[in-house]
Amino acid sequence: MHDARALIDMGDEAVRRLARRGYALDLSSLESLQSRRTQSIRVVDELRSESKSVAAEVQKTARSGGDTSALKEQARKLKERIRETEAEQEHAQHELTALLLTIPNLPADEAPDGDSEDFAVEQRRVGNPQSFAFEAKDHVDLGEAMGILDFGRATKLSGPRFSVLRGVGAALERALVSLFLDLHTRRHGYTEHSVPFLVTRKTMTGTGQLPKFEEDLFATGVADRELFLIPTAEVPLTNLYADEVVPPTQLPIALTAQTPCFRSEAGSYGRDTRGLIRQHQFSKVEMVRICAPGDSRAEMEKMVGHAEACLKELDLAYRVVTLAAGDTGFSAQLTYDIEVWLPSQSTYREISSISDFGTFQGRRAGIRTRDEHGKPTPAATVNGSGLPVGRTLAAVLEQHQQQDGSVLLPQSLVPYLGFRRITADGKPSEA
């Protein structure tokens, strides 16, 4: 969330920058709401001061034996005006907050112009996409032929966009999670957490999923409590420090967790309906870093390296791109996408988004630290996938498939699995 005064002071510059991401900032409405709020606060303060003076005059007059009836009536009217003005102040604050919650983060100057993935700028490529001497199969055909993926039974259980992993497939999913968490905790310095999968509306609002993306969430409840299934572990991990002041000496804080993720995919029907690429429920290892406001870009670059390390351990070809301003997520000011090569589609597909939020989430969630003068100030946050398990599993199957229908797995997975190859009939094999 933004500081209203900061946006107003930026004026046309704020309008210009938000327009890059397709948002039309109504500066006059923002100024009007801010003025109403400021005015009501000033009037309340003046009325309270006057009320104190009248109360003191009542006491003075009473001690001298004078008539206090007129003064008491004045005091009563002042209290009534204070209540009315406080109600006006609360209403103005509510309207101002409601507006601010809908304004996306300001895109960074480094984000290229454009409003879709077509305008992303490639930064680098790592690894060479395989050139097979046979027609490459997609992960669905591979997994179902081996008997390790079962989309038909998943549909019977839950409808489309769900999956069942069986035998070696389930073991591979578990091995990927263990590999990622070990890399992040032992090599990259993150602290692993086990967090709730159901969170409150306030928690969802703190990281920016609400109010804008409510249709993409699954809502439920426990007794009289409204709760939402998390779309990513970013939500509970970031909000662990909501409404707290984190001492600068404790920054940066690096958090990771593996959770299921639940998404309605309301705006993507008809896209990626086949396989593991876009599902209503999937497993993901998430990374979150909380840092000083001036350090977020450097922390973002570190996190990109941490996500890339996972792909390198799996011998997967990928590339890194900078998203266009209009294609950057609501809460982010700059996003790098890491895209993995899928041979069946002959293209790169997004497998991790690493975003610098600046102080946007810190302000919304009340996550603060202290500046050089000891004054509380919003902290910055960075988050990214490290990595989604389903998409990674799909890439491993496709990039490491063999002509005989088997899959030769990366050596990094052998300690977790105890075997190197998945045979064409879905059995584990040492070679």
Whether 263 is catalytic: yes
Q: Of 114, 143, 149, give the one whose Cα is nearest residue 325.
A: 114
Check: CB of residue 387 under 8 Å from CB of residue 285.
yes
Whether 186 is catalytic: no
Check: CB of residue 407 under 8 Å from CB of residue 421.
yes
Whether 391 is catalytic: yes
Is 234 annotated in a binding site? The answer is yes
Residue 296 CA to residue 294 CA, distance in Å, equals 6
Residue 355 CA to residue 386 CA, distance in Å, equals 12
Can you read off the two tokens belonging to residue 76? 């009563």
Residue 385 CA to residue 390 CA, distance in Å, equals 12
The helix/strand/coil state of 266 is coil
Is 353 annotated in a binding site? The answer is yes
CA distances, 360 to each of 3, 39, 156, 363 (Å): 9, 26, 42, 5
The helix/strand/coil state of 412 is helix
Is 385 annotated in a binding site? The answer is yes
* Catalytic residue, candidates 84, 86, 214, 350: 350
Is 259 annotated in a binding site? The answer is no
Is 239 annotated in a binding site? The answer is no
Is 49 annotated in a binding site? The answer is no
Q: Of 179, 123, 181, 127, give the one whose Cα is nearest residue 301.
A: 123
Is 233 annotated in a binding site? The answer is yes
DSSP state, 136?
A: P
Can you read off the two tokens belonging to residue 115? 């409003």
Whether 349 is catalytic: no
Whether 278 is catalytic: yes
* Catalytic residue, candidates 353, 398, 406, 421: 353
* Catalytic residue, candidates 263, 363, 368, 421: 263
Is 242 annotated in a binding site? The answer is no
* Catalytic residue, candidates 17, 20, 21, 278: 278
- Would you tell me the crossing angle of helices 12-19 and 27-63 to the nearest 10 degrees? 130
Is 263 annotated in a binding site? The answer is yes
Is 253 annotated in a binding site? The answer is no
* Catalytic residue, candidates 391, 398, 406, 421: 391
Binding residues: 232-234, 263-265, 286, 350-353, 383, 385
Binding residues for L-serine: 232-234, 263, 286, 383, 385
Residues designated as active site: 263, 278, 350, 353, 391
Binding residues for ATP: 263-265, 350-353
